[in-house]
Structure 1
Amino acid sequence: MSSDLVLITGVTGHLGFRTLIFALQAGYRVRAAVRSQSKANTILSNPMFKALNRSSQLSFIIVPDLTVAGAYDEAVKAVNHVIHIASPIANGQTTPEEFQERLITPAVKGTIGMLESALKTDTVSRIVITSSVVAQVPAADFMGKPDYVVEASTRTATPAGPFTNELEAYAASKVTALNETEKWMATQQPQFNVVHIHPSYIIGRDDLVTKSQNVITGTNAVPLRVVLGNDAPYPTPGLSVHNDDVARAHVLALDSTVPGNESFIVSYNPEGTFDGTTWQDATEIVVSEFPEAVAKGLLPNNGKIQSIPLRYDNRKTEETFGFKHQSYAEQVKSVVGHYLELLAQE
């Protein structure tokens, strides 16, 4: 266990909260950057956090706007490591006129701003950054069945736009942030190193969600809408990962034995393959794991979804961090189980 001080951003998100829990369990002292005191209160009042009984390890600092120059200057003082998760996500509601302002600019400025603030200290030794599998390939390939295997080192050129849809703009935000970070590191050669974590569609329980209808949001909605009887509006890349695995990778990446200035793909593949996830399998998993809920009609389980086959190589991650990615069945059990648990309380 480590008592090092870690700054974590994005702790009020699906991944960020789970990463916070794992970091506290690992013994780290955590300074959580939040946008407001009300965000801090969300964490402090959460039943899982309270049951953990680790409040003495946690402090907060308010950073209302991550795009402002020097936004993290105070937050990084005396910090040993940083886990930078905060970044805009696609929510289906961003218009083309807002792509740059709401997705791309905050992703890049927030990340480079963190690096620049850390450069002003002599204590930060490692920054772990949440990237994405969409940061490694052109958006057209991500939606178009490329004939190659994506490795942790795979990169693509920064897209210039204009972008025709939100996924393209979100991908551009991740590609640009990754490329600009690696360019900045090569130019500045700071005292710290960087580890990029590249998750695919994150599936799993979100303990900040307290109402069943709110489970059907974000990436959890991909399998859940199918088991609730809704057809997916479009084909979806066949890549998924358990939220616990992504959070675990972020915390394990703080260890000095993990090589710095490297990237790690976190995404499930069936044993011995690069085949990724077949989303439609959720209906079979639910029949097996939740037969009573299906029989009662709580889970209609008749939605349809088409998977786009993509191949991402996760072997480097499993070898470095020493864990096997949890299966799609475990992912579905986690999110559907949480949905049914909340539904029973309503």
Structure 2
Amino acid sequence: MANDLVLITGATGHIGFRTLRYLLEYGYNVRAAVRSVAKGEAIKSNPLLKDVSTSQLSFVVVSDFLAPGAFDKAAEGVKYIVHLASPIPFGDGADPADQEEHFVKPAVRGTISMLESAKKVGTVKRVVITSSMVVNIPIDVQFGITESADTYTAESRISMPEPPYANTFVAYIASKVGAIKEAEAWMEGNKGVGFDAVHVHPAYTIGRDDTALTSKAVNEGTNSAMLGTVLGETAGYGKTSTTVHVDDAARVHVLALNPEVAGNQSFLTVSDGPDGTIWEDSLKHVKKHFPKAVADGSLPNNGTAPTVKNNFDASKTEKTFGFVHKSYEEQVVSVVGHYLELLQKGL
């Protein structure tokens, strides 16, 4: 596998950048598809990549991921594709009237476009696609509207939400459900295409975000779902009891490239077993690991974050890849430590 060429999208994101680093650490040659030269420069200038040779990491600009044949050139000569790029519900500020255009259509079209390009170039052996645990659990159960004792696995699927969507997060759910349904149907309709697909379903992804270079930026994206509580914020709604350390979510994308892992299947990345995460446990973890920051007021550590108890089974992922998911406590320490590190530097 060493020296094989991998095309990655979404490398400027939280999971994407960590996946990029794992690909490099595992010895792959990586071609990152970025929307602009500036985004490529932002990746290259990250201190964690200062020792990476240009022969191992290159960039290709794909300004419009939705254009016909968008990835044709980017996919030339690659053996594997890791497709992480997709609209996210944090900080996008999408107009509710445009949620179909902002979330659903880009997620679906971008995924199918990547599969079409992989088919055209003829060298690709596997495409790993970032899905989400939101495609595995009914919306009303995830939001705590309906209680359920069911256990959800990587193979669980929900029906496609219909517009108009109740909020931005439901539009995001629709984008992920639409993308995986269309991708699985595409693969079924293109048997013998020469490559297979693996879908990775991360839970709320918590962990050090190495693209965040200020303390304010640390409290953005999915990390804000935990760090906000530590900083004294009151959550207005309960969140499902499913989190995963960014390291685990990212490395499953890379380990899934192993040809010994069967293709055309899905893997959940969820920590702490079926019991899952209790969001307000972040307060006791911070009190344990960062007592001085709590005492001096750097971390108010008094917010609220209700938990909606749901049951997920990610044992298939752990058995296949030979690891145990990092705990919520490790996730909290990772993010809060990064936040304090930057805060102490005045950043």
Aligned 8 A contact 2:207 2:334 in 1: yes
Of the three residues 251, 261, 264, the one matched with 2:267 is: 264
The 1:296–1:35 alpha-carbon spacing in structure 2 relative to 1, beyond 3 Å, is same
Q: Match for residue 174 of structure 1?
A: 176
Aligned 8 A contact 1:103 1:169 in 2: yes
Q: Which amino acid counterpart does residue 301 of structure 1 have in structure 2? A: N
Residues 282-340 of structure 1: per-residue CA shift (max 9 Å, x gap): 00000110011111110010101100011110000000011110000000000000000
Correspondence 1:242 to 2:245: yes
Aligned 8 A contact 2:142 2:239 in 1: no
- Give 1:152 shift: 1.2
Aligned counterparts, 1:1-346, within 5 A:
2-50=2-50, 52-91=51-90, 93-144=93-144, 145-189=147-191, 190-270=193-273, 274-346=274-346
Specify the SS of the correspondent of 2:112: helix
- Give 1:90 shift: 0.3
Specify the SS of the correspondent of 1:70: coil
Q: Which amino acid counterpart does residue 27 of structure 1 have in structure 2? A: G
Specify the SS of the correspondent of 2:55: helix
Query: Structure 2 length normalisation: TM-score?
Result: 0.97
Question: Alignment identity in percent?
Answer: 50
Residues 251-305 of structure 1: per-residue CA shift (max 9 Å, x gap): 00000011100000001024xxx01100000000001100111111100101011
C-alpha separation between the residues in 1 aligned to 2:336 and 2:287? Answer: 12
- After TM superposition, what 4+ stretches of structure 1 lie above 4 angstroms from structure 2? none
- Give 1:168 shift: 0.9
C-alpha separation between the residues in 1 aligned to 2:339 and 2:236? Answer: 21
Residues 76-114 of structure 1: per-residue CA shift (max 9 Å, x gap): 110000000000000252221111011000000000000
- Give 1:229 shift: 1.0
Aligned 8 A contact 1:227 1:302 in 2: yes
Residue ranges of structure 1 left out of the alignment (5+ in a row): none
C-alpha separation between the residues in 2 aligned to 1:42 and 1:320? Answer: 34
C-alpha separation between the residues in 2 aligned to 1:20 and 1:3? Answer: 14
C-alpha separation between the residues in 1 aligned to 2:285 and 2:120? Answer: 50
- Give 1:138 shift: 2.8
C-alpha separation between the residues in 1 aligned to 2:322 and 2:21? Answer: 20
- Give 1:53 shift: 3.0
- Give 1:135 shift: 1.3
- Give 1:161 shift: 2.1
Specify the SS of the correspondent of 1:120: helix
Q: Which amino acid counterpart does residue 173 of structure 1 have in structure 2? A: S
Q: Which amino acid counterpart does residue 67 of structure 2 have in structure 1? A: V
Q: What is the RMSD of the two structures over their aligned residues, measured on CA atoms?
A: 1.0
C-alpha separation between the residues in 2 aligned to 1:146 and 1:48? Answer: 43
Worse-matched range after superposition: 84-93 or 297-306: 84-93
